[in-house]
């Protein structure tokens, strides 16, 4: 595949320098492969939300890191009139383009190329860039219809087909080329199977890719409805309620976290495909009654799908309580280093494993081999880090409950049930002053030891106005229905050995 490298090297140079006012120079950390970035100014957050300026770097699945932006610009310079969209593989690119065509009612040929051709033809093209020796791949969709490209990009980033920046660096020969480890995938699987007490594990390019794949696998003829217990991650909510599915009328009923009566009533319907829930909800840190939910579902013959990213197998093992499938974003607690992006699905059911594996192989929607060494490194220290995550989360919740500026703290509700041993380290709160000005003041206040960025499960403490960031476009009525205060503060506490300085910094920031 040396021709691929030479083709990439021959792409035209580009100058991405633009007027300062067009960019928000978000600060990436953990090097060129860091999965998130910080922004210190609340005005810049507003500029980004209102699309007045773009982020240089952000959460890896939603905003391409600089190296990928540069590669995108080079491709678009070579092929004027086309917009480039990156996906995990060429096979996934074909599926997502075909699905979006079906949704839009478009009938057009998709042209595929191995490598980088001199010219393109047609409105929709796919480039398949691979280094077969290292099993590294890059999928590029090139679209002349710019509105189609924008929607394709949005669908892919929400559905989780995130291309690893390590793959781009490898294909461009800009990495040190020492990142492959044939044993790393095997070792990661062994550790996670033991942690979750599972029989099968499948790795994906992101946690949302894992969720999307499981939801797609759950849909059967005549069974296209999901019962969702409590708040779920925003992109999961979007996937189930807002984004159209190609050729399918997928429906979801969002029930209150503890409304077991509504679950018992709705689950009798023959169109229910599965029950979906999170072991700990984000960002309100509620704990659904998992064993009872599973019992109700099992009596109805309905599978239970659990996103356990927030709990991790250290605090809860849903498969042991009868869940059919468990999903994790390995980008979070399991790696803990802010430099790995991925997801995993675990199950004890052979049928689920075979179905997911077949679908995954068809579209090559799998975790890059270059991501496994970082995951294994994190998994090797996972148990000891989780002890500190739990401890530090409890310490912050206790401090916030006593803080004069805080109105309400979201971190569980009393004693933990027997099936969960800890709540992790995400703690949310409301201020007594509920104004946006108060939120802005806290956001811009100095917080030594705290990084003002999204994500969670990092070894350092992260802070963001979560609802303001992820539900910015939603009405007050919508947020009230979801029980989400618009100006909620969310702290994703780290696994610091000495957490006292972080506590002091947060406490002081809250009274600015």
pLDDT in tens, 267-325: 999 999 999 999 999 999 999 999 999 999 999 999 999 999 999 999 999 999 999 99
What is the distance between the alpha carbons of residues 249 and 259, in angstroms, rounded to a whole number?
25
Instruction: Tell which wins on pLDDT, 512 or 460.
Output: 460
Instruction: Tell which wins on pLDDT, 511 or 267.
Output: 267
- Which fold is adopted by the domain 182-376? 3.40.640
How do the domains of the chain map onto residue ranges? 2-171, 182-376, 382-509
What is the distance between the alpha carbons of residues 304 and 394, in angstroms, rounded to a whole number?
29
Average pLDDT value for residue range 16-21: 69
Average pLDDT value for residue range 147-172: 95
pLDDT over threshold 90, residue 27: no
pLDDT for the residue 20: 65
CB 345 within 8 Å of CB 206: no
Considering the domain 382-509, what is its CATH architecture? Alpha-Beta Complex (3.90)
What is the distance between the alpha carbons of residues 243 and 255, in angstroms, rounded to a whole number?
19
Instruction: Tell which wins on pLDDT, 182 or 163.
Output: 163
Tell me the pLDDT tens digit for each residue of 332-347.
999 999 999 999 999 9
Residues facing residue 130 across a β-bridge: 137
* Mean pLDDT, the chain, whole residue set: 94
Name 133's Cβ contacts closer than 8 Å, sequence gap at least 6.
1
Tell me the pLDDT tens digit for each residue of 434-457.
999 999 999 999 999 999 999 999
Instruction: Tell which wins on pLDDT, 194 or 131.
Output: 194
Instruction: Tell which wins on pLDDT, 368 or 2.
Output: 368
pLDDT for the residue 178: 58
pLDDT for the residue 182: 81
Name 265's Cβ contacts closer than 8 Å, sequence gap at least 6.
none
Confidence class of residue 1 from pLDDT cuts 50, 70 and 90?
very low
Half-sphere exposure of 433 (CA within 13 A, CB side): 14
Secondary structure (3-state) at 269 = coil
CB 99 within 8 Å of CB 135: no
What is the distance between the alpha carbons of residues 280 and 19, in angstroms, rounded to a whole number?
43
Q: What percent of the chain has pLDDT over 70?
A: 98
Fold: same for 2-171 and 182-376: yes
At the top level of CATH, the class of 2-171 is alpha beta
């Amino acid at each position: 595949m040396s021709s691929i490298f030479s083709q990439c090297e021959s792409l035209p140079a580009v100058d991405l320098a633009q007027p300062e006012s067009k960019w928000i120079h978000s600060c990436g950390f953990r090097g060129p492969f860091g999965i998130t970035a910080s922004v210190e100014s609340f005005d810049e957050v507003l500029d980004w939300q209102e699309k007045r300026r773009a982020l240089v770097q952000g959460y890896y699945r939603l905003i391409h890191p600089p190296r990928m932006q540069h590669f995108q610009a080079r491709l678009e310079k070579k092929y004027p009139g086309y917009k480039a969209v990156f996906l995990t593989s060429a096979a996934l690119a074909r599926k997502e383009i075909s699905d979006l065509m079906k949704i839009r009612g478009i009938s057009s040929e998709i042209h595929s190329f191995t490598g980088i051709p001199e010219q393109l033809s047609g409105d929709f093209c796919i480039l398949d860039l691979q280094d077969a020796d290292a099993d590294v791949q890059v999928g590029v969709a090139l679209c002349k219809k710019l509105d189609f490209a924008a929607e394709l990009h949005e669908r892919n980033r929400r559905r989780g087909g995130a291309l690893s920046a390590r793959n781009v660096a490898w294909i461009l020969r800009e990495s040190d080329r020492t990142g492959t480890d044939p044993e790393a995938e095997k070792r990661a699987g062994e550790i996670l199977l033991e942690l979750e007490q599972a029989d099968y594990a499948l790795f994906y390019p992101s946690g949302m890719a894992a969720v999307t794949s499981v939801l797609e696998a759950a849909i059967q003829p005549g069974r296209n409805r999901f019962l969702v217990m409590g708040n779920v991650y925003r992109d999961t909510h979007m996937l189930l309620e807002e984004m159209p599915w190609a050729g399918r009328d997928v429906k979801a009923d969002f029930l209150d976290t503890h409304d077991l009566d509504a679950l018992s009533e709705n689950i009798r319907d023959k169109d229910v495909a599965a029950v979906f829930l999170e072991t700990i909800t984000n960002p309100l840190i509620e704990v659904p009654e998992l064993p009872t939910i599973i019992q109700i579902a099992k009596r109805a013959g309905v599978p239970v799908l659990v996103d356990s990213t927030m709990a991790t197998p250290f605090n809860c093992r849903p498969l042991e309580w009868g869940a059919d499938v468990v999903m994790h974003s390995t980008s979070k607690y399991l790696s803990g280093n802010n430099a790995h992006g991925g997801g995993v699905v675990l199950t004890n059911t052979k049928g689920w494993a075979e179905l997911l594996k077949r679908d995954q192989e068809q579209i090559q929607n799998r975790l890059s081999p270059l991501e496994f060494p970082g995951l294994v490194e994190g998994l090797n220290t996972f148990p000891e880090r989780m002890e500190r995550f739990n401890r530090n989360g409890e310490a912050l919740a206790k401090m916030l409950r006593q803080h004069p500026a805080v109105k309400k703290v979201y971190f569980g509700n009393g004693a933990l049930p027997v099936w969960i041993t800890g709540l992790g380290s995400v703690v949310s709160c409301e201020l007594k002053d509920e104004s946006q000005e108060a939120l802005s003041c806290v956001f811009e206040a100095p917080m030594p030891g705290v990084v003002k960025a999204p994500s969670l499960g990092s070894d350092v403490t992260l802070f963001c106005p979560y609802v303001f960031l992820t539900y910015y476009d939603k009405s007050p009525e919508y947020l009230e229905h979801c029980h989400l205060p618009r100006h909620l503060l969310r702290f994703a506490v780290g696994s610091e050995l000495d957490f006292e300085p972080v506590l002091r910094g947060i406490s002081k920031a809250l009274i600015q």
